[in-house]
Amino acid sequence: MFRRLTNSWELVKASWRVLLADKELMVFPLVAFFASLVVLATFAVPTVLAGVLDSVMTDGDVGVLSYVVAFLFYAVMYFVTIFFNSALVGAAMIRLEGGDPTVRDGFRIAMSKLGTIFGYAVIAATVGTILRAISERSGTIGRFVVSLVGFVWNIATFLVVPVLVVENVGPVDAVKRSASLLKETWGEQIAGNLSVGFIFGLITFGVILLGVPLVILAVMSGSVALMVTAVLLVILLIMLISLVSSTLSGIYTAAVYRYATTGDTGAYFDADMVKGAFKLK
């Protein structure tokens, strides 16, 4: 456990060095965040209306409208997320190959894969909607099985974005290629390992632990200004951590793909670190 935690921290530091070389990489998750807010706002009313209509229906079609709206929401949200992740990974790949990417380079790469990105977003939305439907109609064991299937899906599709960015394949072949690369590089029985997300999850937890007493002290002071300042400070810190985490995760994914396809990780990552990205079950 400690060794894997150490390896994850080294991966974070290596990803951070790439980010320091190209600070503009943070533009992609930042724009993705605001785009996601627009999507959430756009679907808020339809989602509420679908729930209300389904709640008053008494025939066998109960829930159908909600699932239709859920599918459309997933599809649009996945498209936004994958588009900006593709831009980030594309720019990161240029840096790992020794180039000097710009924000324009990232968006150019993502735009060139627009159709493929849309196709994969539909596939991911379909899987998400099906798993949600099964989970809502299952007991504890059923939900556990759905969670396990979701975990396997996440592992199998871990390298889909860099595959879409680098290789000239369709969305279905991208999923197959991602699973194949993982199987060929790390073996048939692999499981997720501690990574960038885990490290930043710990950091976020630490911020919350420190932030709660800060907010309590601000409330006890009776000052509205202090209360607002304390709450905003905690929220901004969490948002900043999330932004950095998303950027480093994209860089990390690019490094894993580069290692899986070439056996090389570039000047920023140690091959042994990336090799430990996954472990045997």
- pLDDT, one tens digit per residue, over 220-241 is 888 888 888 888 998 999 999 9
Percent of the chain's residues with pLDDT above 70:
87
Given a cut of 90, is residue 124 above it in pLDDT?
yes
3-state SS assignment for residue 191 = strand
Given a cut of 90, is residue 201 above it in pLDDT?
no
DSSP H or E segment with residue 279: strand 278-280
Q: What is the DSSP letter of 192?
A: E
Residue 164 identity (one-letter amino acid): L
Quick one: average pLDDT of 54-72? 64
Q: How confident is the model over 81-107, as pLDDT tens digits?
A: 999 999 999 999 999 988 999 999 999
Considering only 46-50, 103-107, 117-121, 141-145, which range has the smallest mean pLDDT? 46-50
Q: What is the mean pLDDT of the chain?
A: 84
CB 223 within 8 A of CB 167: no
Given a cut of 70, is residue 165 above it in pLDDT?
yes
Given a cut of 50, is residue 58 above it in pLDDT?
no
- What pLDDT is stored for residue 46 in this prediction? 65
Q: Residue 191 — pLDDT band, cuts 50, 70, 90?
A: low
Considering only 38-42, 50-54, 84-88, which range has the smallest mean pLDDT? 50-54
Q: Nearest 5 degrees, angle CA 78-CA 253-CA 34?
A: 40
CB 171 within 8 A of CB 257: no
Given a cut of 80, is residue 281 above it in pLDDT?
no
259 vs 10, residue with greater confidence: 259
Quick one: average pLDDT of 203-212? 88
CB 105 within 8 A of CB 91: yes
- What pLDDT is stored for residue 60 in this prediction? 46
- What pLDDT is stored for residue 169 in this prediction? 93
278: which residues sit within 8 A by CB, 6+ positions away?
155, 182, 186, 190, 191, 192, 193
Q: Nearest 5 degrees, angle CA 235-CA 238-CA 242?
A: 135
- What pLDDT is stored for residue 78 in this prediction? 95
Q: Residue 61 — pLDDT band, cuts 50, 70, 90?
A: very low
- What pLDDT is stored for residue 164 in this prediction? 95
From CA 161, how far away is CA 86, in angstroms rounded?
6
CA nearest to 80, candidates 132, 151, 28: 28
Q: Residue 190 — pLDDT band, cuts 50, 70, 90?
A: low
Quick one: average pLDDT of 177-189? 83
57 vs 232, residue with greater confidence: 232
Quick one: average pLDDT of 19-29? 92
Quick one: average pLDDT of 196-201? 80
Question: Residue 262 phi/psi, 5° resolution?
Answer: -125, -15
Given a cut of 80, is residue 253 above it in pLDDT?
yes
